[in-house]
């Protein structure tokens, strides 16, 4: 379970980067769609940091219990 969780955290980072790229490309053409991608980039960036933080806490607790 730990290996799977370790790699799925980075899916959020990839989505964040792709959303920021799409927002940048759409900014001049369609500002309303660009705002959606900005929102998605912020949310997924936060989720990446949040999940990475708790994964590290989980691993530390697991290491201390052994």
Segment 10-47, tens digit of pLDDT: 999 999 999 999 999 999 999 999 999 999 999 999 99
> What integer is the mean pLDDT of 47-62?
91
Sign, Cα dihedral of 24, 25, 26, 31: positive
- Residue 12 has which token pair? 């959020």
User: Residue 62: its pLDDT value, please?
Assistant: 86
Q: What is the pTM of this model?
A: 0.82
Instruction: Using the structure block, give the residue that is written with the tokens 């799977």.
Output: 4
């Amino acid at each position: 379970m730990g290996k799977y969780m370790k790699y799925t955290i980075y899916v959020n980072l990839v989505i964040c980067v792709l959303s920021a790229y799409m927002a940048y490309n759409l900014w001049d053409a369609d500002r309303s769609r660009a705002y959606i991608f900005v929102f998605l980039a912020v949310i997924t960036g936060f989720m990446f940091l949040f999940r990475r933080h708790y994964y590290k806490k989980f691993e530390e607790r697991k290491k201390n219990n052994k």
